[in-house]
Structure formats: C-alpha cells, structure tokens
Structure 1
Amino acid sequence: MTDQFRLGGDLTVDRLGLGAMRLLRGGPGAPARDPETARAVLRRAVELGVTHIDTAHFYRGEDGSAGANALIREALSPYPGGLVIATKVGPVFGPDGPRQGTAAELRPQVEANLESLGLDRLDLVYLRIGLAGAPHGESLAERFAVLAALREEGLIRHLGVSNVVAAHLAEARTIAPVAAVQNNFHIAERDETAVLDACARSGIAFVPFFPLGGGRADIDDPGLAKVAGRHGATTRQVALAWLLALSPVTLAIPGTGSVAHLEENLTARSITLTEEDLADLPRVSARMRGGS
C-alpha cells in the first residue's frame, strides 16, 4: 500500500490527512473548543507529515464567528510547501437552517474561501450537492460549470464533487476534469462502492467524509476488534487502515480537536492489513485493492 497519492495528477498528498470540521467543536450542540488547542492540532499534523487538510468556509461557530479556515490560516500561514488544502462550496447556512445554494452563489463562496484562507488560488474545491443523502436524479451541470469557469480563471486548481452518485460523477466529467470525490463512506456505510469503483478505474481520489462514522453511525464491525488485537491497535485505527486498503485511490480525512486523538489516528499509517485481516473485515473487490 502506497502512502501517497497524486491528486489531480500533480499534487502529491499523504493518503491519511486531516478534516477540519471537528476543530471547532466535537459535534452539533457540543461546546466550542479552545482555538489555541485547534491551532496546536493543525501545527502537530503538519509536523507529523500531514499534507492534505480538508475544510470549508462554512465550518464556522454557531454564532457565525471565525471558523476552521481562520484557524488554519492563523496556525499555518505562510503555508509550508507541499501542503494541499481542499475546501467545499454549495450549501448555504442561514437563520432558517441549511439549504442548497444556487449556481449564482458559488463565486461568492469561492471568494470567501480564498479570503479566509489567505490564498490566491484554491488547490481543490468540491461542489457539495444535497443536504443529507446523495440526491439521485438531480443535475449538477449548471453549478459545476460555474466552478469550471472559476478554474479557467485561475482561482481553482482542481475540482471535485461531493455527496454524489455515479451518474453525477459522469455528468461532471463531461464539463471539466474531476480530481476527487468526497462521499459518506466508512466500514459500516458502504453504499457508494459503485462510485469508489468508478474512481478507481479513472485514477480519481475517493475521499470518505465521516471515515469513522462522524458520531452518527456505529462503526464497530465484528471483525474490527479481532484485527485490532492482532496489531495491538484500536478499532478506530483499523477502520482507517481498512479504508486505505480498499484501493490506491482512497484517502482518509478523520477530524479531531485533540492532539492525542490526532496522533492516534495517524498511527493507522503504520498498520498493514494482511489477507487474514481482510478476510475478517467487510470484503472488497480485488480490483479496488489494486489486485488482478
């Protein structure tokens, strides 16, 4: 299993990165975290070799205060060479709750990410569609075309799509190259194997959000404890190693607001699952694992 992936063919990232959503709080309704602790997490991540951070301008405090992007800028700017920051646009959050944004609202969202991160160009921007599950039958063409135009302007380096089915991915690729797909996927949520398979065939990164369930799903597959015991690891570490073993195109972005938890997550990089281990965990195709 290689530890790195060339995102979009030209940005080399470590396959185990960091999601920024949990920097602000442990989950919906949880108390706000100390910003200095969040900044310490970001600095330690880079010290430990993380080269891929996933964020969004809409990852903000419940009162609309400065969010994850501001913390990333404060902790890491000027950014070290080789660090890739991915962000998302699409949803709009207002007093009446979240809604799906329109095509006309995407440029301001991209500009807000540029400003809050202190960048002239964004490495990777995902178009997130829908609010909960992937919206089957919905076209993303108009919205993705806006991002494609911003890419042509030089404001975005690579494009991705999020919360999509295989038909959305195919539709987006008729408009502009797609470097990555970000979908809800983990050891207990494997509905999007068709999307993962499409990504594997085309060398597109597949980036599960909520790789450990996001606090919304129980990921304790019966085989996890058995495999963890063999490796002297935690079940969460094995769950991350399982994601990386699925295919050379899978990346993982577990989020945390704790340095200790960050270090625990990153230890998953040292776990190499054997065929015996994989037999005790949910099975995947040989093609996904890079076999024949």
Structure 2
Amino acid sequence: MTSANTVLMIRPKAFGFNEETALSNVFQQRSKDSFDKIQKQVDIEFQQFAKLLQQHQIKVLVFDDTLYPEKPDAIFPNNWIATGENWIALFPMLTPNRRAERRVMIVEILQKHYAVDRIIDYTHFENQNKFLEGTGSMVFDHSGRQVFASLSPRTDAELVKQFATEIGYQPIIFDAVDRSGKSIYHTNVMMAIGTKWAAVCFESIPHEAERKKVRQALESSAHEVFDLSFVHLENFAGNMLELENSQGEVFIAMSQIAKQSLNKTLLAKLETHGKILAPDITTIETIGGGSVRCMLAEIFCAQN
C-alpha cells in the first residue's frame, strides 16, 4: 500500500468559520463576506479541485454534505474517516459540530462497493475526552509501516499507539509547535509523506532528540527528506498528499498558495517524485484553516 488512486470528498453546504475549532486552529480567519458569497466561492473551488483530480484519472467519490445540522468543516472528511487495505476507521473528534460530520450512510456505501473486513471504531473515546482526528492527527509512512503524530488537544498519545498496533504500524510520537510556541493542531500541517519522499517542518519540532528521531525514522525507510520552514508551514506546504491514477502515474497535490511558497529548487526536487497538482482553494484555506490534504480521505480498500 503506497499512494491511493481513489479519494473521498464532501461538497459542503454550510462552509464557514468554525467557532468551536478556532481555539486550537490558528490558521482559521474570519471573513466579512456574506454566507451566500462564501458558499458560492467555496463551491467553485471545490468543483475545480475535484475536476482537476478527475482530469488526471484519479477517482473521486463526491458526497454532498447534509444541510442539518450545519457543519462548517464538513469539507475536511479526512479527520473522521480513514481506510486501509481492508479496513475503515472512524475517529473521535474534539468538537461537537465536527462529530456531526460522521455519517453511517457513507460508511455503508463504502462497505457495499469495497472489500472491507473490519470497522475500527474509536468514536467512543470521545466519552473519555480522548481524541484522534484521523489523517490530520496521524501522517502515515505506508512503505515503512510507520505512523507519525505530533501531540495536541486533538491527538492523544495513547490512542496513536493503540491505533498503530491495531494496523501493525510503528508509532513515532513527538511535539510540534507553531512560531509562537503553541501546539500545532494537526500533524498533517507540518509534514507530508510520499512513497519515496517526505517534507517536514523540522523547526516546528522544539526538542532536538525528537527532530533526530523523526528524520532517522524517515531515512530508515528510504525517503528523500525535504526541510520545510515556518513560512512554508504557514502557507500550507506541509499539507500535501501523494496520489496515483489508474495508469500508475504519481501526483503530488498541494494548494496554489503552498506551491507559490516553495522555491524553485525544492519544487524541482518534489517534481522528481510526482507531477504537481495545485488547485486554487484560497477561500477554503483562509476561512477553514485546512488545505488540500484535509479535503481528501484516501480509499485504499480494493473495489468489490
């Protein structure tokens, strides 16, 4: 299992600034635009991104968000659902309005069309105030069977270890902070891992021993490791995702803003690992505080 050729996306109905998540996500910014204007622009960005993936023969499963209850972050499904070769996992979320994003119907449709042997359901941990927000909290090195996680209010160390054991991966746990010293809300903001490459904002890892641990773990599984700066991180360059299409062509999805933040040398090195797909999702990033990777839940299960 390396990169996915199928992704799940949720077309939002009530996208907006999420008051509940703003306490732990400093990337979110309020907008003075009207609700309708924001929805219209977000729908354009969403459609263009989905179309860009489809034009490159990457399969996109689009589900429409439900109107009620309003879910301002529904466009980011990777936090509540993840898949592996034969499993679907459901995750415990920090805020109530994000828990509402989980939909049994979507899981049932996936079970109907894909080979799913088991459901790993961690949602009950919400009752213990323990959270693990999917591939936001955990960044997977599938070729090396490792899972990387930076601790935050949304990422519980014990759950990372438990989940890693459940799927037979080695957990690599560390602290990561932003420029002001605040915990980074999701690991996938500060690092991305492809089949043979990884991009990490090492300056966000305050402890030298942990920086070394992360780098060595990636190098041990034959990854070319790229250093990202805080400027890159703040422009969502850590929020990339490697994908492949039905012909086996490899792509690296990142936002237009992320791409513009990378210098030519780093971009050229990344392009040796896959063709860059860089949609303009500026409204989604600015108000939602999440980027390309957050919008995509990979489907690794084989089709029935």
TM-score by length of structure 2 reads 0.33
> Looking at both structures, which has the greater relative contact order when contacts are Cα pairs under 8 Å and sequence separation is at least 6?
2
